[in-house]
Amino acid sequence: MTLKLFIGNKNYSSWSMRPWLVLKAFGIPFDETVIPLYTGAADKQRILDVTSSGKVPALVDGDITVWDSLAIIEYLAERFPDMAVWPSDRAARAHARAIGAEMHGGFGPLRRECGMNIHRPVRAKMLSIEALVDIARIQEMWIDCRQRHARSGPYLFGAFSAADAMYAPVVHRFRTYAIDVQPRVQDYMDVMRMHPAFAQWTQEALAETLTIEKFETD
Ligand SMILES: N[C@@H](CCC(=O)N[C@@H](CS)C(=O)NCC(=O)O)C(=O)O
């Protein structure tokens, strides 16, 4: 039975982007359903019909429903053990999971102040010290990963993995909010933007016409 992924608007839904990228990047077949966010009770009900969390993303695999971006990625890693969704080396895998968890549970100031909005015209914005600390931490982690794994490929852990998917929305945020990044970070962002799955999501996000006013204020 084909996997079904329920996601929000591609322009805004950073949590949806992450498992979608994993599915696409690893060539796992799936059907996707986009449910527009914050449009009212009917669309909210469509999400609730899939998951009582009331949030996307959610993955349905037969009679198994998994919600939450990171739980879905872990489910995919377990469901497709032959694909290196996480790096196959144990130390690298532990490191990748740690930075994935740090993204999932942290960086509140950056997430609040620089919401993913792919069609936002590129321009800088005044950010809090806390958001700047988040940005410095992410750059430090990316550079550390690239230094360790430069020889095995251009992504955080060499080959594309769930760690890249977890940080993909940050690549959009750094670009649209004109964050002044270090050259090695820019190189990584350029590599990510060339990834076919990342490029496809971006193109489809830009083709969306529905806007969410509260995310268009800055
Ligand atoms: N921790 C969750 C967060 C999911 C989440 O906040 N999703 C947002 C869209 S990106 C949502 O569904 N919002 C709709 C709502 O709250 O009504 C995850 O990682 O999947």
Of the residues 15, 67, 70, which should be mutated to test ligand 1's pocket, given the most ligand atoms within 8 Å of the CB? 15
| Ligand 1 centroid distance, CA of 57 (Å) | 7
> Is 87 a pocket residue for ligand 1 (Cβ < 6 Å)?
no
Q: Cβ of 62: how many Cβ atoms within 10 Å?
A: 9
Evaluate whether 58 touches 67 at the Cβ level (below 8 Å).
Answer: yes
| Ligand 1 centroid distance, CA of 34 (Å) | 13
Evaluate whether 17 touches 201 at the Cβ level (below 8 Å).
Answer: yes
Q: What is the pLDDT of residues 43-83, one digit of tens each?
A: 999 999 999 999 999 999 999 999 999 999 999 999 999 99
pLDDT of 129 reads 98
pLDDT of 84 reads 97
> Is 69 a pocket residue for ligand 1 (Cβ < 6 Å)?
yes
**Distances 130 to 81, 82, 109, 133, 184 between C-alpha atoms, Å:** 38, 40, 6, 5, 23
pLDDT of 20 reads 98
Q: Delimit the domains of the chain by residue range.
A: 3-83, 90-202
pLDDT of 91 reads 98
CATH class of the domain defined by 90-202: mainly alpha
pLDDT of 213 reads 84
Of the residues 20, 21, 39, 56, which should be mutated to test ligand 1's pocket, given the most ligand atoms within 8 Å of the CB? 56
CA atoms within 13 A on the CB side of 172: 28
User: Which residue's CA is the nearest one to ligand 1's atom 13?
Assistant: 55
Is 90 exceeded by the pLDDT of residue 160? yes
Q: What is the pLDDT of residues 84-140, one digit of tens each?
A: 999 999 999 999 999 999 999 999 999 999 999 999 999 999 999 999 999 999 999
> Is 96 a pocket residue for ligand 1 (Cβ < 6 Å)?
no
Distance CA 15, CA 75 (A): 15
DSSP category for residue 122: P
CB-based contacts of 171, cutoff 8 Å, min separation 6:
189, 192, 193, 198
Average pLDDT, the chain: 97
> Is 18 a pocket residue for ligand 1 (Cβ < 6 Å)?
no
> Is 55 a pocket residue for ligand 1 (Cβ < 6 Å)?
yes
pTM of the model: 0.97
Q: Are strands 3-7 and 30-34 parallel, antiparallel or unpaired?
A: parallel
Specify the CATH number of the domain 3-83.
Answer: 3.40.30.10
